[in-house]
Amino acid sequence: MAQRNRRDTAPRSRSRSASAPTTAGSGFERRSPAQLSAVRERVHDIIEPVLTGAGYDLEDLTVRQTGRRHQLRVTVDGDGGVNLDVISDLSRAIADALDAAEAGGQEVIPGEYQLEVSSPGVDRPLTLPRHWRRAVGRLVSVKVSSGATVTGRVTAADARAVTLEIAEKKATRTQTYPLAELGPGHVQIEFHRLDEISDEDLAEIEDSDGDAQEIEDESADDDDVEEQ
């Protein structure tokens, strides 16, 4: 079964140093949420055509200021999934596009920045038709319009509906739900099928507790702007 929703982090990060306005005594200017939103919009407009042209989707874009540096976190996915080689190639393409825009006279990101490119983790909610399509074969849990939570294996998905194979006490039934009747789906980790899980997904499962702690320990005054 093809592995989906991997989280592969690029083996390198890109950074660029440039002069930026500073605040007296602090050495740098703290960007407001509105300024970060404007940076995010400029970055989005530049990199989305690059990813689409390469056959991939921009799933998420976060812009965060950490001290003097801006951190760009780009999440990408594709029908065939993404591996480390793809992540590396897309990282270079994104950085080149940003550099080209700046060389053309557009100030995209004030000051220094770091670029991180990854693919979605197994905990990414399934909300769009392409998410469900790429989850075919996976066991998912989802709340339906009746308010009940259903767990089943995705056997088919298109722009309008999702079909789940649901195991019950004495039998297995197949149910098709219109997408409009489904809430966000959540992929379930099947530990009895670990031989079908990629090394990257296994590493993510093992590191999930550490990642959660790291997020909690980040500075409370960091400003985030995430794709809605």
Name all domains of the chain by residue range, CATH numbers in brackets: 14-122 (3.30.300.70), 129-187 (2.30.30.100)
Tokens standing for residue 106: 């557009």
End-to-end Cα, the chain, rounded Å: 31
State yes or no: pLDDT of 92 exceeds 60: yes
Query: Band of the pLDDT at 190, cuts 50, 70, 90?
Result: confident
Q: What is the pLDDT of residues 62-79, one digit of tens each?
A: 999 988 889 999 999 999
User: pLDDT at position 167, please?
Assistant: 92
Beta bridge partners of 126: 185
Query: Band of the pLDDT at 191, cuts 50, 70, 90?
Result: confident
Angle of helix 33-53 versus helix 84-103 axis, rounded to 10: 120
Q: Hey, what long-range contacts does 162-169 have (CB within 8 A, 24 or more apart)? A: 162/132, 164/140
Beta strands of the chain (E only): which ranges? Answer: 14-16, 57-66, 69-77, 112-118, 139-143, 149-157, 161-167, 172-178, 186-187, 223-226
> Residue range 151-170: average pLDDT?
95
